[in-house]
Structure 1
Amino acid sequence: MALLSLLLVFSVLCVATLWKRFTSRPHQRLPPGLKKLPGPKGYPLIGSVPEVPEKNSFIKFAEWGKQYGPIYQVNLAGSNHVWISSDQIARDLLAKKGAIYSDRPHIPALIDDNRTSGQYLPLTSKNNAWSRQRKFANVIMRESEKAQFHRYPEIEAKRMLVELMDQPSQYNHALESFISRVTCRLAWGRSEASDELKQRARELLIGVSPTGALGNKLPFLMSLPDWLVPAKAWERRRAKTERTFFEIMQKDVENDMKEKRAPQSWMRTFLESRGSWGFQYELEGAYAVGMHGIAGALTIAAPMQTFCLAMCHYPQYLPMLQEELDRVCGDRLPRSEDRPNLPFLRAVIRECLRWRPPVPTGIPHYLIQDDTYNGYHIPAGSVMHPLEWAISRDPTVFPDPESFNPLRWLEPSYPTYQEPLTQYPTIINCTQFGYGRRLCQGQGVADEDLLIGIGSIAWLFDMSKHSDEAEDGSSTNPSHDSQYDEGEMNEKENSIHLNKAASISYEELNTGVDITEPSNDDQQSESSYPGAWPVDPLEEQIMDVEKRRRGIEWQYRQSKPKPPVKAKKGVNTIDPTLDYTTLLIAKPVPFRFNLELRDQARAQYVRQIFNEGLSKGEYTDSRGYWGEDNGKSKELGWGKV
């Protein structure tokens, strides 16, 4: 009887949810003289959900943009989604009409309403909490940038390089740990919480991704009791653990300030003027700081991972980058002051964000009232997506858009060229950081981290495609070869500098995707995703580029890219540069490649300066917060991902 009652309640909730979605669909009666936005027809109730693949869905949305135009709408289970494939249209709507386009859509899987809770600034609708925290973010970012981010990226780059030398197969861990540690230092002044910050970011990413938490796929589940819906219980525990973590970090900085040993941090800035920000609830400051920490840990490592991918598939650009670094930096690591003299490095970074944008579907906006555009009616309640994958592939702005080509930012013949080269190219204000009033305020942090992080890697290492992948073009196991003997590692150093926690972008976030063999949905006779392979193979050539007027001299050999490899019998092949995770932040799935030292003297130098910092206490062990096994099966701790 109890089971029957439970099934009845479940059925009623399902019907009620479907009815609500059906009746809340944008009204079909159009205002006089306006047209309905084009788009796929879809199916009753569920709309076009069955037509959208879970993996690389941004490619499908881009294809629809070519079919229906640069702005079109899609019904996804009763919700109207408008996809924008043009930078100009995105600016016309999301920036120029920011007063009505700056809200955020509801994320059902979160326990607290993201629009009003004030917990996550990037996900908060345009309200008082958003205004308060936005002003606070402007202050902390401006002060950090003036202080050159307290040299935290330069400090942590040394630890990252040592990790890469000692365990190159764990490159994803090293890159994400680098970002997490820098962000921890910026947020709270110390790096010990980097493992915990990565886990908080990992769990929140699942909670906010349409293809992540079950509550986002079936919102009615969030109306049921926790004991009946494990996904809801998981989210409640995640939220409580996150809140406790932020509270602990704030108290730690308070204690450091009392003892007059608090390093510079965003939390210290908040606490020094605690009453001047107008925060309305007890832990709003803790969330305002913690959210920026999570946002950095989530996103900035993605372009670094893309850099490794690009250098393996477009090897002609690595010698050019290394020539510039050697000329500017010599025998030392890159520094913040080198930025004006490193235009090619900045071009590589900018191209990484364009070629493989970390948020390819864009962060959605929410329209609060009916609007019109070029004779089309856009109904209130529409979820607006600036489709970054398509925007960054506009062939009129980016000729040969599928190819990775940093020269498009440095050659006057390209539409993207800007002067002076001491400032441009730059990632600041690029479309990947959003539009209008929702522009990301952490751009400066990302810019500094990527300049120091990618610059340091290229300064020390050579990279090349692994022989196994070169034969069949498919993704392989997440490790790579190295000439380093792990037995040579110093056990004490390794226990301190190596972050062994799972990375944000590995198996647990690559839900349902096998790294070695692509899923059946991706099976093709030849590699056919829009991706890295040029349309026509280029003949090998030597090009001398003289840019004396701008202080740049390059010599490089253009290698011959290999065309897609025909599939072997029984083997699935996809473009290996498009084997991506399925969540909102798209990261390259770990792949196998060769990472080799350029110079033994540089390696010794890096170890020396790292050890000097180690002896001064600059590098410490990661800290655990929830007891044995990270609180597994306890009230607070790491959730299963």
Structure 2
Amino acid sequence: MAALTLLTIIALVTLGYFIKKALSPAPPKIPKGLKQLPGPKGYPILGSVPDVPQQNSHIKFAEWGKEYGPIYQCDLAGSNHVWISSDAVARDLLSKKGAIYSDRPHIPALLHDNRTSAEYLPLMSKNPHWTRQRKVATHIMRESQNSQFYRYPELESIRLLKELIDEPLKYNHALESFVSRVTCRLAWGHSEASDELKQRARELLISVSPTGHLGNKLPFIMSLPDWLSPAKAWEKKRQRTERRWFELMQSQVEKDMAEKRASPSWMRTLKETWDKWGFTYDLEAAFCVGMHGIAGALTIAAPMQSFCLAMCHYPQYLPILQEELDRVCGDRLPTAEDRPNLPVLRAFIRETLRWRPPVPTGIPHFLIQDDEYNGYHIPAGSVMHPLEWAIARDPELFPDPDAFNPLRWLEPEYPTYREPLTEFPNITNITQFGYGRRLCQGQAVADEDLLIGIGAVAWLFDMKKVGVEAPSSGIYSNKEATISEEEIRTPSQHDSVMDSDDEKPESKTKLAPGLLQEKLEEQQRLQKEQIKAEKKKVDPTLDYSHLLIAKPLPFKFDLTIRGNMSHRAQLVEKLFQEKREEGEFTDGKNYWGDNSGKFGWVKV
């Protein structure tokens, strides 16, 4: 049965390929004087798909970059993908030539075309909706930033610490809830919708990820009837629920404003300036705000989780951060005003984003016309990937790039050091936020959330691996995503049985030479098998999800209140109770009941 299913899938993929080839124009010839970009040859029909692992595919693409150069191309099931592993090349193309490189590729799994509809601002091509919504985003982000984001990150940091005190094993949930609650408050002035926002983000992430929704792997299934395509039915309910929820959230803000009790929010700011934007329909604004909410919920929690991972594997740095927080903040939680005096905290944030970029393959661009670069032809229709994993590992700029080292931003001997330390390091306009006309407009929100959130966690807690002490650096080889062979001692002929506890020196001479040689060879065989088994172990700091936004999978570690800091935990408890009594920390809201109706959560 499994074999039949596999053959059916292969047949359908093959049929789809030939249909696409028949309907598509012939590939353009390379202009005279130009060369084709280098890259792996791949296989018929599938291209290089069989060579790309689903887990940590960015590492494979980075390896190809070392083999073929800082810009290369590969065929992925009939689509041409261009991978850029150099910041300089990415800026030359995606920023300086933004007029032709700023479109987005089509995402087959979405019911409404992401390029032309007004529903997915980060995924839209350049059109009137995109231009209008970018202007709206600039306005609402500037207004909230000027108001210190209405102190929502500082408020929610109290609830974050309270949840970590009560249930440290649920750190993943607490960190994601912190980001989601702040984002909900910013978008609509309420925090009780945070669970719904997280679910909207999870579902959309599946729909837009190449390795997520089946419709992105087999696009033809989105043209089938619902009863023949469960994946299409899944997407219909997701999109229907998303639209309805955005409508409900916008209506709630309108009601709050009518009753003179609306908290500051992006939607309130938008409604107060409604006439200047010229929206073509009412829900365009709902999607504009909603997509910013989803984008925040998707991306900001990932580096907070990566920070915890880094502290477990590089524990020598945490005391440096805690010393700064104690000196600057004392027995109060970090605030926005502390930013100039917290260069170490900012270095930790900058290094976390470099060490484990939340979008390691980069958000793709789409080339709308033929181009050339350094003698190479880049054909129109290419999907362009600024490969953040490789860009953040340039060894000239980042010595020992695979190691987490926040000092590279604080000590003058490193090429990344900049002054004044009251301003640098920072994450403004770093490559992880995109290039050119696609630069993320919510980066200031991310910066504030990370400063307050990570600062609060380090202010109160110690973090360490469970059991064995973690290595400080250098033990893992990210090139192959395995434990470094240098850490495994290969036995020599003077080792093996003769040095084991169960063979005494006096018994060695009692073994016949042939038997001794046989035992020696057997021991060496076992040692080689052990080495192979160790090499197959995946670096635990690379145990990440495989969707477009990469998050470290939940792992166990000790999260405990710092020694002699119990009074800080008591302060958090006191602040939490006060805010709870003031009505700030309300419980989450269920919008759809048991999810069995027309609207609701779909399985992820």
State the TM bucket, normalised to the shorter chain. 0.7 to 0.9
* Residue pairs, 1:105-504, within 5 angstroms: 105-467=105-467
Aligned to 2:584: 618
Aligned residue-pair number: 551
Task: Map Cα deviations across residues 238-287 of structure 1 (whole Å, 9 max, x no partner).
Answer: 00000000000011011100110000000101111222112112200000
Task: Map Cα deviations across residues 127-157 of structure 1 (whole Å, 9 max, x no partner).
Answer: 1111000000000110111000000000000
Task: Map Cα deviations across residues 483-517 of structure 1 (whole Å, 9 max, x no partner).
Answer: xxxxxxxxxxxxxxxxxxxxxxxxxxxxxxxxxxx
- In the TM superposition, what is the alpha-carbon distance from 1:569 to its structure 2 partner? 6.6
Shift of the 319–635 alpha-carbon distance from structure 1 to 2, 3 Å rule, reads same
Aligned to 1:522: none
- Is the CA contact 1:567–1:573 (under 8 Å) kept in the aligned structure 2? no
- In the TM superposition, what is the alpha-carbon distance from 1:12 to its structure 2 partner? 8.3
- In the TM superposition, what is the alpha-carbon distance from 1:112 to its structure 2 partner? 0.5
- Is the CA contact 1:179–1:297 (under 8 Å) kept in the aligned structure 2? yes
Distance in 1, Cα, partners of 2:105 & 2:59: 22
TM-score normalized by the length of structure 1 = 0.83
Aligned to 2:490: none
* Residue pairs, 1:6-25, within 5 angstroms: 15-21=15-21, 24=24
Aligned to 1:638: 601
Aligned to 1:46: 46
Find the partner of 2:556 among 592, 606, 619: 592
Shift of the 127–343 alpha-carbon distance from structure 1 to 2, 3 Å rule, reads same
TM-score normalized by the length of structure 2 = 0.88
Task: Map Cα deviations across residues 554-589 of structure 1 (whole Å, 9 max, x no partner).
Answer: xxxxxxxxxxxx769799621110001010000001
Please identify the structure whose Cα radius of gyration is greater: 2
- Is the CA contact 1:529–1:574 (under 8 Å) kept in the aligned structure 2? no
- Is the CA contact 1:613–1:619 (under 8 Å) kept in the aligned structure 2? yes
1:238 partner SS? helix
Aligned to 2:538: 574
Shift of the 317–22 alpha-carbon distance from structure 1 to 2, 3 Å rule, reads farther
Distance in 2, Cα, partners of 1:314 & 1:450: 19
- Is the CA contact 2:17–2:45 (under 8 Å) kept in the aligned structure 1? no
Distance in 2, Cα, partners of 1:582 & 1:13: 22
Deviates more, 1:44-53 or 1:461-470: 461-470
Shift of the 118–310 alpha-carbon distance from structure 1 to 2, 3 Å rule, reads same
- Is the CA contact 2:106–2:114 (under 8 Å) kept in the aligned structure 1? yes
Shift of the 458–26 alpha-carbon distance from structure 1 to 2, 3 Å rule, reads farther
- Is the CA contact 1:25–1:79 (under 8 Å) kept in the aligned structure 2? no
Instruction: Output the amino acid matched with 1:252.
Output: Q
Aligned to 2:573: 607
- Is the CA contact 2:164–2:174 (under 8 Å) kept in the aligned structure 1? yes
- Is the CA contact 1:22–1:78 (under 8 Å) kept in the aligned structure 2? no
Distance in 2, Cα, partners of 1:344 & 1:534: 30
Shift of the 569–68 alpha-carbon distance from structure 1 to 2, 3 Å rule, reads closer
**Runs ≥4 in structure 1, deviation > 4 angstroms?**
10-14, 468-471, 531-537, 566-572
Distance in 1, Cα, partners of 2:264 & 2:59: 43
- In the TM superposition, what is the alpha-carbon distance from 1:20 to its structure 2 partner? 1.2
- In the TM superposition, what is the alpha-carbon distance from 1:468 to its structure 2 partner? 6.0
Distance in 1, Cα, partners of 2:25 & 2:452: 48
- In the TM superposition, what is the alpha-carbon distance from 1:534 to its structure 2 partner? 9.1
1:92 partner SS? helix
Distance in 2, Cα, partners of 1:186 & 1:13: 44
Distance in 2, Cα, partners of 1:442 & 1:274: 21
- Is the CA contact 1:26–1:380 (under 8 Å) kept in the aligned structure 2? no
Task: Map Cα deviations across residues 213-237 of structure 1 (whole Å, 9 max, x no partner).
Answer: 0000101111111111000000011
- In the TM superposition, what is the alpha-carbon distance from 1:328 to its structure 2 partner? 0.3
Aligned to 1:72: 72
- Is the CA contact 1:402–1:533 (under 8 Å) kept in the aligned structure 2? no
- Is the CA contact 1:17–1:220 (under 8 Å) kept in the aligned structure 2? no
Instruction: Output the amino acid matched with 2:602.
Output: G
- In the TM superposition, what is the alpha-carbon distance from 1:411 to its structure 2 partner? 1.1
Shift of the 580–469 alpha-carbon distance from structure 1 to 2, 3 Å rule, reads farther
2:414 partner SS? coil
Instruction: Output the amino acid matched with 2:117.
Output: S
* Residue pairs, 1:524-535, within 5 angstroms: 528-530=477-479
Distance in 2, Cα, partners of 1:105 & 1:568: 41
Distance in 2, Cα, partners of 1:425 & 1:125: 33
Instruction: Output the amino acid matched with 1:574.
Output: V
Distance in 2, Cα, partners of 1:26 & 1:614: 65
Structure 2 segments unaligned to the other structure (5+ residues): 1-6, 488-529
Task: Map Cα deviations across residues 311-355 of structure 1 (whole Å, 9 max, x no partner).
Answer: 011111100000000000001000000000000000000000000
- In the TM superposition, what is the alpha-carbon distance from 1:625 to its structure 2 partner? 0.4
Find the partner of 2:547 among 558, 561, 583: 583
Shift of the 12–59 alpha-carbon distance from structure 1 to 2, 3 Å rule, reads closer
Instruction: Output the amino acid matched with 1:460.
Output: L
Shift of the 21–158 alpha-carbon distance from structure 1 to 2, 3 Å rule, reads farther
* Residue pairs, 1:560-571, within 5 angstroms: none
- In the TM superposition, what is the alpha-carbon distance from 1:18 to its structure 2 partner? 3.2
Distance in 1, Cα, partners of 2:483 & 2:462: 22
Higher helix proportion, which one? 2
Instruction: Output the amino acid matched with 1:624.
Output: N
Shift of the 378–192 alpha-carbon distance from structure 1 to 2, 3 Å rule, reads same
- Is the CA contact 2:46–2:78 (under 8 Å) kept in the aligned structure 1? yes
Shift of the 377–194 alpha-carbon distance from structure 1 to 2, 3 Å rule, reads same
Deviates more, 1:371-380 or 1:274-283: 274-283
Instruction: Output the amino acid matched with 2:278.
Output: G
Distance in 1, Cα, partners of 2:16 & 2:202: 32
Distance in 2, Cα, partners of 1:164 & 1:88: 42
Instruction: Output the amino acid matched with 2:303.
Output: P
Instruction: Output the amino acid matched with 2:149.
Output: F
Distance in 2, Cα, partners of 1:355 & 1:21: 40
Instruction: Output the amino acid matched with 1:589.
Output: L
1:75 partner SS? strand
- Is the CA contact 1:343–1:422 (under 8 Å) kept in the aligned structure 2? yes
Instruction: Output the amino acid matched with 2:567.
Output: A
Instruction: Output the amino acid matched with 2:256.
Output: D
Instruction: Please give the root-mean-square deviation of Cα atoms over the aligned residues, in Å.
Output: 2.3
